[in-house]
Amino acid sequence: MANYSSNEFKSGLKVMLEGDPCSMVDVEFVKPGKGQAFTRVRMKNLKSGRVWDRTFKSGESIEAADVMDLNMEYLYTDGEFWHFMLADGTFEQYGADASAVGDCIKWLKEQEVYVVTLWNDAPISVMAPNFVDLEVTETDPGLKGDTAQGGSKPAILATGATVRVPLFIEQGEFLKIDTRSGEYVSRA
């Protein structure tokens, strides 16, 4: 792969750091009036998700990472791998392991499209769309007429995720969930 020099750094750039693929979240040129120039980068490890600040000397260069974000449809799991299919019409399939799927497992729904990050052609992370519609599989019976305000109860969704929902929600309903906060938004 190519190398990037510090003056080419910009947010979104994917690079290799200590053997792991990382993404630059934010890049800042730091230069005291009478001191040496540095480039300060907020870096995200794409495998572990860890975000931290790393500083580079001016002119320092690092290796580019062969990383791609692709839209893929979730198909099924065999218990060991979660299988996705490219949403570009090629039907090419990829199996992501538990560490790549990570927290996204709570929001995996068949036929929904996810962003799968490939490193050297293998999935390393899966990101859910901001909103998914999921069925309530288990919750206490709804309280009729209590639609105005206040009160919430836990509900278990088809994916196994538990979210707080208003008291009027019934088992079997489909709900719109914000996957970033894990919160109920509305009935779907």
Partner 1 sequence: MPWQPSANIHLLKQRAKVINQLRIFFAARDVLEVDTPVMSHYGVSDPHIDSIPVTFTADGTSVGKPMYLMSSPEYAMKRLLAAGSGCIYQISKAFRNGEAGRRHNPEFTLLEWYRVDFDLQQLMQEVASLVDMVLENDQLEWHFWSYRQAFENILNIDPLTATDEVIRSTALAHIDIQMQDSTPTDTWLDLLMSHCIEPKLPKACFIYNYPPSQAALSRIVEDERGDRVARRFEVYVNGMELANGYHELTQAQEQERRFALDNQARQAMGKAPMAADLRLINALQNGMPSCSGVALGIERLLMLTTGENDIAKVMAFNHPLA
Contact call for residue 174 and partner 1 (CB under 8 A): no
Q: Cβ 140 to partner 1, closest distance in Å? A: 49
Helix (H, G, I), strand (E, B) or coil at 29: strand
- Nearer CB in complex with partner 1: 38/168: 38
Q: Cβ 49 to partner 1, closest distance in Å? A: 17
Contact call for residue 40 and partner 1 (CB under 8 A): yes
Spatial separation of the C-alpha atoms in residues 98 and 120, rounded to whole Å: 18
If 0-12 CB within 10 Å is exposed, 13-18 middle and 19+ buried, where does residue 149 land? exposed
Contact region for partner 1 (CB under 8 A) — 25-33, 111-119, 135-143, 176-184? 25-33
Contact 158, 105 (CB under 8 A): no
Among 3, 7, 120, 186, binds partner 1 (CB under 8 A): 7
Neighbours of 138 (CB within 10 A): 11
* Binding footprint of partner 1 on the chain (CB under 8 A): 7, 28-38, 40, 52-58, 60
